[in-house]
Amino acid sequence: MLARMEVRTLGQFVEQEGVLADVAAMITEINARAGREAKQLGKVSCLTCTAAKACCQSMVVARFYEGIVVAAELRATGRDTPELRARLDEAARAMEAADPYGWRRPCVFLDERERCTIYKARPSPCGILYVYSPAAACSDPLAQIRAYIPHAEHAVALELEEKFRERLSLRKKVGRRYLGVLPRMALLALEMWDRSDFREALRAHPWPTDAEAARWDRR
């Protein structure tokens, strides 16, 4: 008689198989490498920024694996509440309907002091952002911004997504990408965390096509 396969939730799978630890470590390294490269190219304004956090008012598009790392942080710190999920959903809907270049709204993860509450788990779009122009210019839509362009980090992030799909046995949909706005990815990960049918649910999720995702590409 065949042994019954163990049914695990998304949270159990990513923790027991080491997926969460591996992905978190890779995101940390991507962010750290971007910081090192940016510093070598010149004086980084972000390091001494005292202006309003305009960088945390931009639209952030993250991959689903980054949403899982954020969700794990929220659960570990007791912040996965119905109230937070409602805020994430509201922010995600507003962001998805907005013009990517016209979005100006504080990130849902900022506290009242403009401090990032998921800093250690922040996705790579946040961690690889460095500018050399005056910090105050980030708040001016008409200002010219001199920024580090992390081509190498983008390539590593894409490679990591492929490996993540393989480890979760998620069939790749041709022309679709497992990404979305940050609040949606964090919320989706929280919603999938305790579900054993997460693979089927994720395959059925309306992931953006390459053409749809292209409107978010700000490189």
Neighbouring-strand partners of residue 116: 110
* 7-19 pLDDT per residue, tens: 899 999 999 999 9
Please name which of 187, 159, 216 lies closest in space to residue 90, comparing C-alpha atoms.
187
Segments in 8-150 forming alpha helices (H): 10-16, 19-41, 64-76, 82-96, 124-127
Tell me if 70 sits within 8 A of 80, measured CB to CB: no
Note down the domain range covering 94.
10-214
Number of C-alpha atoms within 13 angstroms, CB side, residue 161? 18
CB burial of residue 180 (10 Å; 0-12, 13-18, 19+): buried
User: What total number of domains does the chain contain?
Assistant: 1
Count of Cβ atoms closer than 10 Å to residue 125 Cβ: 23
Q: What are 184's two structure tokens?
A: 């949606």
* Residue 2 falls inside a structural domain: no
Q: Cα separation of 88 and 93, whole Å?
A: 9
86 domain residue, yes or no: yes
In a domain, residue 1? The reply is no
> How many secondary structure helices (H) and strands (E) does the chain include?
9, 2
Answer yes or no: is 95 within a domain. yes
Taking only the tens of pLDDT, the chain with its 219 residues reads 444 457 899 999 999 999 999 999 999 999 999 999 999 988 898 888 888 888 899 899 999 999 999 999 999 999 999 999 999 999 999 999 998 888 889 999 999 998 999 999 999 999 999 999 988 888 887 888 899 888 888 888 888 888 898 898 886 665 678 999 999 999 999 999 999 999 999 989 999 888 888 888 754
How does pLDDT run across 68-81, given as a tens digit for each residue? 999 999 999 999 99
Nearest to 177, CA basis, from 64, 45, 44: 64
Domain assignment present for 27: yes
- Domain-embedded: residue 100: yes
Assigned domain for 5 exists: no
Say if 44 falls within a structural domain. Answer: yes
